[in-house]
Structure 1
Amino acid sequence: MAAPRSSSRTAAKPSKIPQVSWREPRPAPLVLVSGPEEICAERAIAGIRDYLRAEDPALEVSDIRADDYAPGTLLAMTSPSLFGEPRLVRVSGVERCSDAFLQEAVSYLDQPQDGATVILRHTGASVRGKKLLDALRAGTGEGIEIACPAIKRDGDRVDFAAGEFKAAKKRIQPSALRALVSAFADDLTELAAACQQLIGDVEGDVTDDIVTKYYGGRVEVSAFVVADTAIAGRYGEALISLRHALSSGADPVPMVAAFAMKLRTMARVAGNREPSRQLAQRLGMKDWQVDRARRDLAGWNERSLGLAIQATARADAEVKGASRDPIFALERMVTVIATRRPFGEE
């Protein structure tokens, strides 16, 4: 029997250079800005420029396209000038780099120019430039990496927006944060701009009313927002979110499906004390799914979780035709889950 193929992910060597957050960028002779999330990459690159310019206003900034590269350009732009000003060279499109750039950039790693900062932007869209990335990541302290992974999941977008307000030392109510993220669920750039607008315009805390005032026409409550709120035990807020979602055109069937998916995950994780990574591998889940389920389980027990699963199963049948009033079926399900008691019990 043939030996199984090892994936590129398995074969990849761990990076030996420091990993730096895109929110707190700092310069180094060589900076790799990797990953597909462009808004984060732009922030990181701009942050390094501002850092260097604050140290010396005479900073020379140059740009190179790695896919349209004239031989000798990298060395020319990094070489000291007559007056020795610091140099920042921003290289875009490394994932499409020419052979000439690749050869010169790999050679440059061995002898970076004094006073020069070179930023290599690689989106990860291709394996082109892998030789350069591997060599930089195996370096001996001359380089750093700023990773900008894709931000696609609801939880990642919430974390991103929360980070915007935290970095600005601005408080936003949790429900207002969720509403804001829901309003810009499909565009991270617009979400970032909305956060910055609220940070710049609003005095004091950002509340639900403020988010509604600015972006009320865009706020669409998703099924997962309703489920998260109910599972957290915020009964009144869960009912308001449910009604808002329904008024925005949400379909009851996928609404129930979102609840069912989260509760099934909670049930699979409940009572298990294995480390997240080990449990995730055994259950065929992601580490973050296990961690999220464990957070969701706060305040739940076997009885209340069973009641919630039964209520969801009943609602699923009713919204698919077993009841003439699917809205009531949804409200009853949300009530049972948010209060963690049988429906009608005081």
Structure 2
Amino acid sequence: MAAAPRSSARGGAAKASKIPQVSWREPRPAPIVLVSGPEEICAERAIAGVRDYLRAEDPALEVSDVRADDYAPGTLLSLTSPSLFGEPRMVRVAGVEKASDAFIQEAVSYLENPQEGATVLLRHTGATVRGKKLLDAVRAGTGEGIEIACPAVKRDSDRVDFAAGEFRAARKRIAPTALRALVSAFADDLTELAAACQQLIGDVEGDVTDEVVTRYYGGRVEVSAFVVADTAIAGRYGEALIALRHALASGADPVPMVAAFAMKLRTMAKVAGLRGSGRELASQLGMKDWQIDRARRDLSGWNERSLGLAIQATARADAEVKGASRDPVFALERMVAVVATRDPFGG
């Protein structure tokens, strides 16, 4: 299983962390579980996953909740101590980024002697450096801990990765353009995006296509520059032109529209002709595995000549939308035509 990014008190990379880093998509229990980072939807999934894992092992699991910022001394030891019948215990501690001195002191002491059969889950959002002493102790390996990092999902590529992961985890296929459209529809709310993914996974039989996303969320979908670029690169000229006009009618700016084409074509040019696994090339080119795989799919039907023509057309459009032409819309349409038809005159 691939290790998740190591997180610090602020959700970034932790230096010299000695404990296992576990993906929030594949959580597991340990005597001490640190769920760190600001992305709440990922943290909720991780915490629920740990609970479900323990409950599947023993339905008699006792679950208790504690606030680290409103802590009564002695609570942690009381809740983790073995009961009369020895049921497993899980103590979920929220608000560690605002923890009281009393909680920090008792938690650090608890790490030195965790109770058998107990799982203590510490939730730290990274909003403050409060509790750093406790986090450092957990990450130093005291108490047989693991860390589940939940870093912020802010960039468009991160949201695409998140949504793709939802479908991959469910073994459900979604068309790349449909994925882009779905992410565009819920660009401002990761929780809503997650809910939309789960709805499509649960409701739709077979693959999720552009038509399915439009049927479910057509009122929210705003055509993004990448949807236009994906459609044109796939050779669907009519659809690409419609998508372009829809995007422009929705207020899309011509400059980032060209930038999206340029970015995808540059990636295709870097990958073209290279051999090796996606992971090897990703490391070599400073990219992600999925970008390599996507570029290879995009290259289907392309050759050196047509790729060169597309790059030239994009460079020309870039200059024109930045002031070299009085009609940026025409410049965009001509670029789309050349890319989609792979013809210097746009078919």
Give the TM-score, by structure 2 length: 0.82
Give the unaligned 5+ runs of structure 2: 1-9
The alignment covers a number of residue pairs equal to 331
Partner SS, residue 193 of structure 1 = helix
Query: Is the contact made by 2:65 and 2:91 (CA closer than 8 Å) also made in structure 1?
Result: yes
Shift of 1:319: 3.4
Of 21, 24, 29 in structure 1, the residue corresponding to residue 23 of structure 2 is: 21
| 2:5 paired residue number | none
Structure-to-structure mapping, 1:69-218, within 5 angstroms: 69-139=71-141, 142-218=144-220
Counterpart residue identity of residue 127, structure 1: V
CA distance in 1, matches of 2:234, 2:163: 20
CA distance in 1, matches of 2:174, 2:14: 40
How much identity, in percent, do the aligned residues show? Answer: 84
Give the unaligned 5+ runs of structure 1: 1-7, 281-286
Counterpart residue identity of residue 37, structure 1: E
Residue-by-residue CA offset, 1:40-77 (whole Å, 9 max, x unaligned): 10001011112222222222111111122222111111
Of 223, 246, 249 in structure 2, the residue corresponding to residue 247 of structure 1 is: 249
CA distance in 1, matches of 2:201, 2:304: 42
Query: Is the contact made by 1:19 and 1:147 (CA closer than 8 Å) also made in structure 2?
Result: yes
Shift of 1:277: 6.0
Runs of 4+ in 1 over 6 A off after TM superposition: 8-11, 264-275
Shift of 1:104: 1.1
Counterpart residue identity of residue 90, structure 2: L
Counterpart residue identity of residue 336, structure 1: V
Shift of 1:94: 1.2
Query: Is the contact made by 1:17 and 1:141 (CA closer than 8 Å) also made in structure 2?
Result: no
Shift of 1:187: 0.8
Residue-by-residue CA offset, 1:166-213 (whole Å, 9 max, x unaligned): 222333233222211111111110001111112222233322222111
Query: Is the contact made by 2:34 and 2:121 (CA closer than 8 Å) also made in structure 1?
Result: yes
Question: Does 83-92 or 313-322 show the bigger shift?
Answer: 313-322
Query: Is the contact made by 1:266 and 1:294 (CA closer than 8 Å) also made in structure 2?
Result: no
| 1:48 paired residue number | 50
CA spacing shift, 1:77–1:26, aligned 2, 3 Å = same
Give the TM-score, by structure 1 length: 0.82
CA distance in 1, matches of 2:24, 2:100: 27
CA distance in 1, matches of 2:162, 2:104: 33
CA distance in 2, matches of 1:85, 1:205: 44
CA spacing shift, 1:301–1:152, aligned 2, 3 Å = farther
| 1:4 paired residue number | none
| 1:31 paired residue number | 33
Partner SS, residue 22 of structure 2 = coil
Counterpart residue identity of residue 251, structure 1: D
Partner SS, residue 62 of structure 1 = strand
Shift of 1:231: 4.6
CA distance in 2, matches of 1:213, 1:10: 38
CA RMSD of aligned residues (A): 3.2
CA spacing shift, 1:193–1:279, aligned 2, 3 Å = closer
Partner SS, residue 32 of structure 1 = strand
Partner SS, residue 21 of structure 2 = coil
